[in-house]
Structure formats: C-alpha cells, structure tokens
Amino acid sequence: MILIISTCAEKLHELEFVKPVERILEENKIHFFSKHYSDISEADLKKADKIIICGTSLKDNKFIENVNSFRWISNFNKPLLGICAGMQIISLIFYGKVKSKTEIGFYKENFTKEFLSLKGEQEVYHLHNNYTTLSKEFESFTEGKIPQAIKHKSREIYGVLFHPEVRNRKLVEEFIKH
C-alpha cells in the first residue's frame, strides 16, 4: 500500500499535483491512500509500504512553515519519493537550506547516472520557486548547480525537483514497482 501525501494548502490544487500521481498508481493497479500532511498519523506511516510526497503550486510555501510535521522522515525506513515540495521537505529534514530560483517550463536535464529509469539527457517539467542545498547524506544525479534528482546514500529516499507526473511517468512507475 502506498501513501500519497498532499502538501497543498488549497484542496483545489490537489487536482494538479496529487490527482496525476494517483492516476499513475490507478493505471498500474497499485493500492494507495491519499492524505494531507497535516492529517498523517503514526498508523498511516505503519500501513504504508512506500510514500510519495507530492508537489504544490508556486505560491504555496505553507509546507516550509510546517516542515516539523515531517520530522518522521528522519526515522522512516521505507522507500520515499519526494516530488518538488516533497524534495524540498526531504532536504530540509536532513539540514539542507532553501534557496530561491524560479524555473517554469520544459528543461533538458542530464542524468549522470541512472535514476529510477532516467539516464542521459531527459526533458523534464519544472514548476518551482525554490530549491534546496544537499546535506552530505545525499548525492545528486543531475549536472548543474541546482540538484534536480537526489538519493540518500544509504536509504531508499529519493527526491526530484521537477514534476515526473507531467513528463516522466516512468520514474513514478519505477519507484512504485522497485
């Protein structure tokens, strides 16, 4: 069972950021349940085999103000994928710092090593105002100053700053089947 976590302050925004991820799981016949981060319980974390933390809209940074709601990540020992806001949360939990840089649209990213089925040059969809620096526990899988795909060095914790639900569904599929 996969837990999909919404970081959206506005319920309506879940149609753009949560629903497409749910659709990928439905199409792959994967059982899941979705919850807003403010409603997550210890029982939800135990029930989940994997977790996907979805992104949110450009002007929605409430999740940063409430990053302590995600302290459970530091002790979570199951596979976890953070998308955009989710990657920022993961980085902050592991003492990364938030930096500002708006990127909107399709970008070419070069994956230096295979990352959840992506390798080499890939077109990805960016929609963010922030990114984060990485702590020493993480490695980046893309070239450039802004890490676009990261993985914890010893745990199955992944993050992408771009939105794979838009252009790179195979990444989500690889995560859920991995």
Catalytic residue ranges: 84, 163, 165
- Locate 13 and state its tokens: 């925004």
Rounded Cα distance, 11 and 15, in Å: 8
Tell me the sheet residues that pair with 126: 105
Q: Which of 171, 75, 19 is nearest to 161 (CA)?
A: 171
> Rounded to 5 degrees, what angle do the CA atoms 100, 79, 3 make?
85
Residue 131 to residues 26, 70, 87, Cα–Cα distance (Å) = 30, 17, 8
Rounded Cα distance, 161 and 54, in Å: 11
Sign, CA dihedral 104-116-96-53, equals positive
